[in-house]
Amino acid sequence: MDFEIDKELRREIEETREWGEREVRPAGLEADRNGAPLPIDHPYFRRYLEHGGGRTRWHGPGAEPARGSSGGGVLKSVIIGEEISYWDRGMTIANPGVGLPEGIVLASATEEQKERFLGPFLKPDRPRWASFALTEPGGGSDTANFKTRARRDGKHWILTGAKCFIGNASRADWILVQANADPEKGRSGQRAFFVEQGTPGLGGFKIEKKMGLKAYESTSFTLEECRIPENNLLGEAGRSAEKSDGGEKSSKGYKSTMSTLNASRPGVAASAIGIARAALDESIAFARANDLVKQVRVRDRLELFQRKLRAAWLMVLKSAWLADQGKPNIVEASMGKVYAAEIAQDIATLAMELLGVVGARGDHLIEKLYRDVKALNIVEGTGQIQRVIMGRQLVGLPR
C-alpha cells in the first residue's frame, strides 16, 4: 500500500473540511435538536447542489463504468468519507444523490436503465434522492432470510413484502428493492428491482425514531401486490420469462449487491473512524478546558484510544485498498467494520465519562456523538453478522 496522499486528494480533503465545518455540522446539529431529518425544501439541500453534490458518477450514455464510490476509487472515498463524518455522519446519508445503490446500478444495469434512473442525477434540477432497500423486519440484513417476494405476471413483476430502516426511501425518486423471485434457490433466486415513487402498492412509509443519526430518514414501507414493468428488473430488461427465472445470470443481482456491500463496508467503518476522531478531539479539548489532563488516568485513556483508533484506520484503509485492486476483501471489510465501530463506541463512552454531569444535559456535541456512533455497529450488517462472516471464512465454510 502507498500511504502518500497526493496534492489533489489533499486539496479535496481540505475543501471537505471547510464545507463540513461551515455547512454539515450546523445542519446535523439542527436536525438532532429537532429530532427529525431536515425537510426536503431546506436551504441546505439547495446549497449542497450548488456546491456540486447530488450528482451521479455515471457520465451519460455510452460512458465507461466508474470504479469505487466517488469516481476515484474506494480508498479515496473512505478518506473523504472519514473527513465528512467527522463533521456529521447523518448528513452524509441525508445528502441528495443516488447514494448506496449507485455502485450496483453502474455494475449491473442496462444502458437503458442507467439513462432512465441515473440520467436525472447528471444535472439535477432539484434535490433528488435514490434509495436501496435490503433490510427486512425480523430478518435484518441477513440475506438468507429475506421474505420479500417477486413473481412474474406476463410483462410485469409483482412484489410483495416489507422493508425497514431504509435510508431516504420516502423522498427517493426510486428504490432499488431486493426480493426473491425463486425461494427454492435461496440466495441465488434474489433479484433487484427498480420501484418508482408513486407505484401503486408501494406505501405505508413510516419514518422511524432513532436514538442517533437523526439527520437522515430511516424509513419502513410495504410492497402490496406492487406491479412494476419487466424492464425494471435490474440488468435483465427484455429477457424472456423463462430465461429470467433461472440460470447463472439470475444471481447477478445478488452478487452485485454483495460486491457493493463489501465495497461499502469500508465506508461505514470510515464513518465510525470519523465520529471517533471527533469524540477524541472533543474529549481532549474538554479535558484541557477543565484541567483534567493533569490526571495520569485521563492521559492514559486518551493515548490508548488514539493508538487503537490508528490501528482501526489502518484496517479500513487496507480493506479499501484491496477493493480498488479488485482483490477479495470480505474478511478485511468485516474486520475493519467491527473493530472501528467498537473502538468508536469505546471512545465516545470515555468522552461521556469525562463530561460527567455536563453530558446529562443533552446539549453537548459529545452526547450527540455518543448516540450517533451506536448505529455504526448495526447498519449494513451488524457486528454479529460480520463475526459470522469472518468465522465461517476462517474455518473454510461457505458464507
- Please provide residue 63's backbone torsions phi and psi, each rounded to the nearest 5 degrees: -70, 150
What is the spatial distance between Cα 242 and Cα 240, in angstroms, rounded to a whole number?
5
DSSP state of 383: H
Long-range CB pairs of 196-202 (<8 Å, 24+ gap) are 196/228, 196/232, 197/172, 197/173, 199/226, 199/227, 199/228, 200/226, 200/227, 201/159, 201/225, 201/226, 201/227, 202/175, 202/226
Contacts of 355 (CB under 8 A, 6+ apart): 286, 364, 366, 367
Grid cell in block for residue 58? 455515471
Helix or strand or coil: residue 162? Answer: strand
What is the spatial distance between Cα 88 and Cα 257, in angstroms, rounded to a whole number?
26
Backbone torsion region of residue 74, taken as left when φ is above 0, otherwise alpha when ψ lies between -120 and 50, otherwise beta: alpha
Residue whose C-alpha cell reads 425461494 in the numeric block? 183
Q: Does residue 380 carry a catalytic annotation? A: yes
Q: Where are the alpha helices (DSSP H) in the chain?
A: 7-19, 25-34, 43-50, 74-94, 101-108, 111-117, 241-244, 252-289, 296-324, 330-355, 365-374, 383-394
Residue whose C-alpha cell reads 454539515 in the numeric block? 24
Contacts of 231 (CB under 8 A, 6+ apart): 112, 113, 237, 238
Contact indicator for 118, 56 with CB cutoff of 8 Å: yes
Catalytic member of 82, 83, 332, 380: 380
Active-site residue list = 380
